[in-house]
Structure 1
């Protein structure tokens, strides 16, 4: 699985309902908590599926959190977590075993240009949510107020929204890194958020109130993710 998708999952977590509460109620991160450019990982920490401080995270924590909160198959992200250590970007005391969420912000390792929710590092901040970046993406996905009547986000809608964001980032960022791998990363991100809240009965994602482990018992594993990524790229005319 070559798309770095774990750390680039870019679905808007405001529209995702977790499967249970208990000790998993949302808590705003504090000033000394570690967070990444990835809304999906940040949400896991904000809800206590990962350490709430976002620090000293290991593979077992990721494996359990993505199963319990998002319904992914066991072992789905082992190769992705391995990449974190291969890039040698961890700043913990055990850099070959653990990482802090903020470590994932190192540009052109895990984090890349063209995020659906963050600006590019060229403009100064690739970690925090950027409403200006997100607004046109939300419109394209039908998640803004003007399109709230639209019930589903289909793969076609999601692929075109990703393409529009990718093309805009390439136009405005003179240092935009446009490569086959980066293109795959962007559409892998989209495939990941689609599958995480996929409604198998409608072959789409509900645009409001989506839940992980939703209808249709969709299998969520690396093979399905790869197939969805390729399908999205083909929708926008990408030739491998």
Structure 2
């Protein structure tokens, strides 16, 4: 378990954000400890850090995943059933039970982890699982996450900005990584990742994603909001995916 000093330090670093209140006991934010299993995907790590998935990130079955995405993000429970099915089909589980998986199981390169991640370095450089501050710094700059002006919209990231930042990150990876995987997985996965985080963090009242929410989600793997009132589905993600791909980059 990580000490209270570590948790307090992370909390103070994030103190500039509008921290949400989680009245439900058991869903406080607690970052992963050294023995906990985590994935390259911030979205499912967030669920474990808040106790919607097992906090150790291990032995997750389909009903648990369904309940977690519904309770935390208000996605329809079956939204990510296909992802779970992929883990089974690819035989990625290391739990000894095909009906469960550990979060780290999805790290295997070329299966569900791909080059050009927004917040992780490529597998070629040694660690594609953990948050990489240097990689993320390029996204912070391109998304202008630390730049807020008198213009109210400067607090938000639009689809166009997000799509162009994603494409620039992929271009960086292709230049730096001689083994860059430009497979169908990457072609779909990269814009898909952007569509997923935009859909998850979208503020319908503005038509954009708040910069503070994006920073908290990626940098601290912490929920930046309480449960949205409107349920989201695969259709919403698909619509966002189409919009991301439609941007000229």
Same fold flag (TM > 0.5):
yes
State the 1:102 CA deviation.
Answer: 0.8
Mapped pair 1:30 → 2:33: yes
What is the count of residue pairs matched by the alignment? 219
Question: For 1:104 and 1:19, how far apart are their aligned partners in 2?
Answer: 30
Mapped pair 1:223 → 2:217: no
Question: For 1:219 and 1:141, how far apart are their aligned partners in 2?
Answer: 26
Question: For 1:212 and 1:181, how far apart are their aligned partners in 2?
Answer: 32
CA pair 49-16 structure 1, distance change in 2 beyond 3 A: farther
Classify the secondary structure of the residue corresponding to 2:171.
helix
- TM-score by structure 2 length? 0.82
Question: For 1:225 and 1:163, how far apart are their aligned partners in 2?
Answer: 18
Larger radius of gyration: 2
Match of 2:246 in 1: 234
Match of 1:204 in 2: 208
Classify the secondary structure of the residue corresponding to 2:212.
coil
Question: For 2:234 and 2:173, how far apart are their aligned partners in 1?
Answer: 27
CA pair 70-17 structure 1, distance change in 2 beyond 3 A: farther
> Can you list the C-alpha shifts for 1:130-158, whole angstroms capped at 9, x where unaligned?
000000101111213xx133211110011
Mapped pair 1:148 → 2:148: yes
RMSD: 1.9
CA pair 18-229 structure 1, distance change in 2 beyond 3 A: farther
> Can you list the C-alpha shifts for 1:60-112, whole angstroms capped at 9, x where unaligned?
11111111111111211111110011111100021x20001111110010111
Question: For 1:88 and 1:236, how far apart are their aligned partners in 2?
Answer: 37
Classify the secondary structure of the residue corresponding to 2:163.
helix
* Alignment gaps of 5+ in structure 2: 1-13, 214-223
**Conservation of the 8 A alpha-carbon contact between 1:17 and 1:212:** no
- TM-score by structure 1 length? 0.85
* Alignment gaps of 5+ in structure 1: 1-13
> Can you list the C-alpha shifts for 1:197-228, whole angstroms capped at 9, x where unaligned?
111122111112453655xx555111121121
Classify the secondary structure of the residue corresponding to 1:24.
coil
State the 1:19 CA deviation.
Answer: 6.8
CA pair 51-196 structure 1, distance change in 2 beyond 3 A: same
